[in-house]
Amino acid sequence: MTVTAGLDLGSLSTKAAIVREGQLISFAVLPTGRGGAPVAERALEEALARAGLERSEVRSIVATGYGRISVPFAHRRVTEITCHARGVYHLWPDTATVIDIGGQDSKVIRLGPGGKVMDFVMNEKCAAGTGRFLEVMARALEVDIEEMGELSLKARRGAAISNTCTVFAESEVVSLLAEGRPVEEIIRGLHEAVAERVASMAERVGWQEPVAMTGGVAKNLGVVRSLEERLATSLRLPEEPQIMGALGAALLAAET
Amino acid sequence: MGEARKELIGWFCSYTPVELIRALGLTPLRLLPPPGKTPRADAYFTGNLCPYVKAILETALAGEFPAPAGILFVASCNAMIHLSNIWRSLKLTPRVWILDVPRRADSLAVNYWARRLKELGGELSASFSRPLEEEALWRALEEESHGPRQDGSRGERGRERNGLSPGRKTSRPRLLLVGSVLPDVLRDMVEEAGMSVVYEDACNGGRLVGERNVTGAGERSGGDPYLYLAQRYLYKPPCPRMVADRDRRRIYLREVVKTYEVQGAVYHAMKFCDLAMVDFTLVKDELEGMGIPVLKLEGDYAGGNRGQWATRLEALREML
Ligand code: SF4
């Protein structure tokens, strides 16, 4: 019975996934905080406890995410691009495109036969089109980030947000509030701005259907709807979009 | 004359006909600025202008280039033309010339440019009050045909690489780098990510050292040295600015891929370089057609965001 683990150290959350005989058996998601090995260690222990397993039963560990280098006990490090592709391929082998919006990065990956990465693009330096962008806006609007999706679905139209720069968009949001625009419409406008940004990345890799979406932002139905409208396609959503990188890492660990 | 021989003429673009400078007994010197911030130069340019051009102006304003007697600009792109205008109005060197270069290679372009080169030779010769002998130009052409380009300065920090050997054996994925002036840090990061650079298509790489393999250049006997010079440059490995010469660029890329057994490519696009934006689509199309993935990294003259670059480069290696 082979047990392997995947650890995904993102900027906002750290995820662990445990795989046995090619199937996900448990996972854990913790806030990254100051990050590094201690958080990864805790996430791993938590996921193992849920599965009723001991650390000694884990045959191999793969670390991914921007903090992948800071896990000394990982046997291998693989980029989040390959891991997300692998995780999605496991769920839906015929997926052609993966859109992943995480805390600090967003990426669009084009998959080929066997789940092989054919091409990818990631957002450039700034935070536009990432979870971080939404986080900053939630704070400016004084709403809970988890509520954003639902709130935006109540709006009949979105407020136009012309700035993609997070700092400028934040002051734009403040002015919209001062003008008395309903919060729902502003949030919808923000989601549309994120969708626009990500859709242009998708164009750049030559996206094709079917498309799956991963990463924490996939939990925000508002962004999902805006993106679906923008691309005129429906998105496949994993039950736990946040752990797809960790799942892919655990699956890759089983292959070594 | 002994004193004058030491006079330096600075240049920036791989289309600069250094043989003309050399034929006059002057020393051509490629001025490559060090990477860094450009607070002074920023005052003269719009924000979204080529960081390489800004770095050049910054270094000149700081007086950190060896004082040349003149600069021979090439109207290679809009950013360079802006730079030459500012250079002239700030009188950064006693003399400034700007040379137009056709954006294609055919007999019409060669004939036009040969005439233009002769005129430039005349201007240079008058400016230094010394004759430009055809025999001296032939000699300079000959000298430049052998070995690495002689820049005549030890202070020059360019890395005109001659080590691009087709046979370079490596068990790592073999990478082609494409860009204008490639930042040193990129080469290092490619190696750190577990890949090997086998060829650099850059204006401080193959597009410079490759120019001696002139095909279709005329014979010396009874020929016109200006025609020969024009052919030599217009038929060198084409750079992204040769927008009317895209077929030859495709052929050149295909040859590079075959000769150097390239498996993957990284395109370093200097930020705001519109020529690179257009060229990237050509390179991507051509290489992907050959089954070679191309990664685009955007950066400035000093490099880019290390963490993000590392992830992208590692992901490319995983793809290979
Ligand atoms: S990088 Fe582009 S904009 Fe800059 S000098 Fe070269 S061609 Fe011109």
Supply the pLDDT for residue B243: 83
Interface test with A, best of B280, B285, B312 (most A CBs within 10 A): B312
Q: Which residue of A has its CA nearest to B300?
A: A125
**The Cα angle at residue B28 between residues B23 and B31, in degrees rounded to 5:** 165
Contact A120 B318 (CB under 8 A): no
Which of A66, A79, A116 is the closest to B315 by Cβ?
Answer: A79
Q: Is B92 helix (H, G, I), strand (E, B) or coil?
A: coil
CB distance from B305 to chain A under 8 Å? Answer: yes
Strands A97-101 and A211-214: parallel
Contact A122 B319 (CB under 8 A): no
Contact A122 B307 (CB under 8 A): no
Contact B312 A122 (CB under 8 A): yes
Q: Which residue of A has its CA nearest to B292?
A: A118
Supply the pLDDT for residue B3: 45
Supply the pLDDT for residue A147: 79
Residue nearest (by alpha carbon) to ligand 1 atom 7: B77
> Cβ(B283)–Cβ(B273) under 8 Å?
no
Strands B174-178 and B196-201: parallel
Q: Give every CB contact of residue A31 below 8 A, 6+ residues apart in sequence.
A: A12, A13, A14, A39
Tell me the CA–centroid distance for residue B52 and ligand 1, in Å: 7
Question: How many A/B residue pairs have CB atoms within 8 Å?
Answer: 33
Residue nearest (by alpha carbon) to ligand 1 atom 6: B180
Residue nearest (by alpha carbon) to ligand 1 atom 8: B77
Tell me the CA–centroid distance for residue B124 and ligand 1, in Å: 25
Structure confidence by residue, pLDDT tens digits, B220-256: 545 889 998 898 888 888 888 888 888 889 999 999 9
> Cβ(B175)–Cβ(B263) under 8 Å?
yes
Tell me the CA–centroid distance for residue B78 and ligand 1, in Å: 8
Supply the pLDDT for residue B2: 40
Tell me the CA–centroid distance for residue B276 and ligand 1, in Å: 8
- Cis omega (within 30 of 0) for bond into A210: yes
Structure confidence by residue, pLDDT tens digits, A166-189: 777 777 877 787 788 888 888 888
Pairwise CA distance, residues B226 & B235, whole Å: 14
> Cβ(B320)–Cβ(B295) under 8 Å?
no
Contact B307 A66 (CB under 8 A): yes
- Looking at beta carbons, which residues of chain A come within 8 Å of B319? 82, 116-118
* Protein residues whose CB sits closer than 6 Å to any atom of ligand 1: B 50, 52-53, 76-77, 79-80, 180, 241, 270, 273, 275-276
Comparing CA positions, the residue from A36, A1, A38 lying closest to residue A21 is A1
Our CA dihedral for A111, A112, A114, A120, rounded to 10 degrees, sits at: -40
CB distance from B318 to chain A under 8 Å? Answer: yes
DSSP state of B303: B
**The Cα angle at residue B206 between residues B200 and B208, in degrees rounded to 5:** 135
Which stretches in chain B have pLDDT values below 50?
1-5, 147-148, 150-163, 211-218, 221
Supply the pLDDT for residue A245: 95
Which stretches in chain A have pLDDT values below 50?
none
Supply the pLDDT for residue B155: 26
Pocket test for ligand 1, best of B103, B270, B272, B279 (most atoms within 8 A of CB): B270
| A:102-161 residues touching chain B, CB 8 A cutoff | 105, 116-122, 124-125
Pocket test for ligand 1, best of B53, B98, B278 (most atoms within 8 A of CB): B53
Q: Reading across the β-sheet that carries A58-64, which strands appear in turn?
A: A23-31, A13-20, A3-9, A58-64, A76-77
- Looking at beta carbons, which residues of chain B come within 8 Å of A76? none
Supply the pLDDT for residue B222: 56
CB distance from A34 to chain B under 8 Å? Answer: no
- Looking at beta carbons, which residues of chain B come within 8 Å of A82? 315, 318-319
Amino acid at A230: R
- Looking at beta carbons, which residues of chain A come within 8 Å of B307? 66
Contacts 24+ apart (CB under 8 A), B94-97: B94/B69, B94/B70, B95/B69, B95/B70, B95/B71, B95/B127, B96/B70, B96/B71, B97/B70, B97/B71, B97/B72, B97/B73, B97/B123, B97/B124
Interface test with A, best of B288, B308, B317, B320 (most A CBs within 10 A): B308
Q: How many Å lie between the alpha carbon of A175 and the closest alpha carbon of chain B?
A: 26
Supply the pLDDT for residue A133: 80
Tell me the CA–centroid distance for residue B77 and ligand 1, in Å: 6
> Cβ(B75)–Cβ(B15) under 8 Å?
no
Supply the pLDDT for residue A96: 96
Supply the pLDDT for residue B67: 80
Contact A117 B314 (CB under 8 A): no
